[in-house]
Amino acid sequence: MTGASRGIGRVAAEHMLRQSPDVHLLVVARGSSGVRLAAEPRAGGHAVSHVSADLGSLQSVRSAVAEIRDRLDRGELPPLRGFVGNAGLQHTNALTEGPDGFESTFTVNVLAHHLFVRLLQDRFAAPARIVITVSDTHFGDFKHNMGMVPGLVWKSPDVLARTGAFPEPDTAVAGRTAYSTSKLAAIHLVHEYARRLPTGIDAVAYNPGFVPGTGLVRNAGPVSRFAMRWILPAMALTPFATSRSAAGRYLADVALGTTNAPTGAYVDRGRVARSSGESYDPQRESELWDTVEEFTAGYAAQPRPR
């Protein structure tokens, strides 16, 4: 599971361990945060371990997968029954480039999780479930984003993966557009996983709704960070937002299969729903698949353990 060290991911991890004590949770997190996260549940008798990775670097993802595969081969981990790609990133611009030459939002929200899925594909033991956390900002309308996130702007995937894909790329508007567009791309890939992965490996897109008080805006400006932490959490008391506690529980239920959802489904909080009309475009999905496969090809050979 990525994104388990804070926000809804942390709640989901704790809920999964309480609901299914026999689950062995492997958290993917950077440095000391992963060590701390793994140590705390272990003190309560739960099986939790961690692998260090920076999702902003595809080479780091590849190294983490090498370690996971090595642990599986040595019997240190039980058969792999699922993957939760919950980490997400939003910048205040569309100009932040990662070490692999791709725009950072697209790298974390799309390419990194895709590389995890592809490099671990042969190690999933059916029945298994892949869950990718997406966002209803991909609808691009006021009903779903309350005007706080600009609507997506779809372009050729090789353009979306690079910096400067949107007008005025040095602005927060461009950064948020990169976020909403990347979340649509993630839904497209879930549809492709449903078509391409072996029978018994299901893929589901999970939308937590608007969840104030998370670490999503940690790279945003001071005003946005202040509002998200101290003002917007009050919206969780209204139908327009979801509390961290509820969103985490919903994510845990999707990951554990408690929420019944067929492969390729979009789960809106606790129920299967339709994503946007634009999200169902097989031609666009195929083009995106080909592009992300090309961009991750250099990291997709079965890695050797560190």
Amino acid symbol at 20: S
Beta pairing, strands 24-29 & 124-133: unpaired
Pull the structure tokens for residue 134.
Answer: 């997406």
Pick from 295, 252, 262: nearest CA to 102 = 295
Helices (H), the chain: 7-19, 31-43, 58-73, 104-106, 113-120, 142-145, 157-160, 172-196, 222-226, 244-256, 282-296
Give me the pLDDT at residue 113, please.
Answer: 98
Number of CB atoms found within 10 A of residue 294's CB: 12
Q: How far apart are CA 274 and CA 44, in angstroms?
A: 39
pTM, two decimals, is 0.88
Mean pLDDT per 10-residue segment, the chain (306 residues): 92 93 93 68 77 96 97 96 95 96 98 98 97 90 65 94 97 93 97 97 95 53 48 49 89 97 96 96 98 94 54
Helix orientation angle between 172-196 and 282-296, rounded to the nearest 10 degrees: 100
Give me the pLDDT at residue 144, please.
Answer: 64
Q: How far apart are CA 186 and CA 183, in angstroms?
A: 5
Angstrom CA distances, 53 to 167, 195, 267, stand at 32, 28, 27
Give me the pLDDT at residue 229, please.
Answer: 53
Give me the pLDDT at residue 145, please.
Answer: 62
Give me the pLDDT at residue 19, please.
Answer: 92
